[in-house]
Amino acid sequence: MHTLTLFAQEATQSDSSGAGGVVIFAALALVLLSIVTFWRFFEKAGRPGWASIIPIYNLYIMLKIAGRPGWWLLLYLIPGVNIITHVVVAVDIAKAFKKSTAFGVVGLWLFSFIGFMILGFGSAKYKGVPKH
């Protein structure tokens, strides 16, 4: 039993250094891709790209892209209400880019990373805020 424990410890120590580096590299690559994606998305919507990397301010700008008032930022602080608010904002952003409600819910809310990549790097054009 003692030999098995020592073997497991050695295997963990030797594998963790290489695997940890791969995980860190993959995480950094995803963070960089996310920054570039949202930067492009903000610029397509006529907003400064740097605003996408400022926490809370980027959410405020997304509300403006969606045509919603800035005070809606407070709705994100209320548990449960924040989910509904984010769905509404995602649908409004989709409509501002002349995409369907389904794209807003599935692409921008449920699978947001992919949806925003489609808007940022695809051929979608910002058409302005939707009428509420």
CA-CA distance, 100 to 90, in Å (whole number)?
11
Q: Quick: pLDDT tens for 99-123.
A: 999 999 999 999 999 999 999 999 9
Using DSSP, state whether 79 is helix, strand or coil: coil
CA-CA distance, 110 to 108, in Å (whole number)?
6
Task: Enumerate residues 6+ apart whose C-beta is below 8 A from 76.
Answer: 59, 82, 85, 86
CA-CA distance, 15 to 2, in Å (whole number)?
20
Chain position carrying tokens 């993959």: 26
DSSP assigned state of 1: -
Q: Quick: pLDDT tens for 85-94.
A: 999 999 999 9
Domain locations in the chain as residue ranges:
2-121
- To the question of pTM greater than 0.95 for the whole model, the response is no
pLDDT, average across residues 65-92:
96
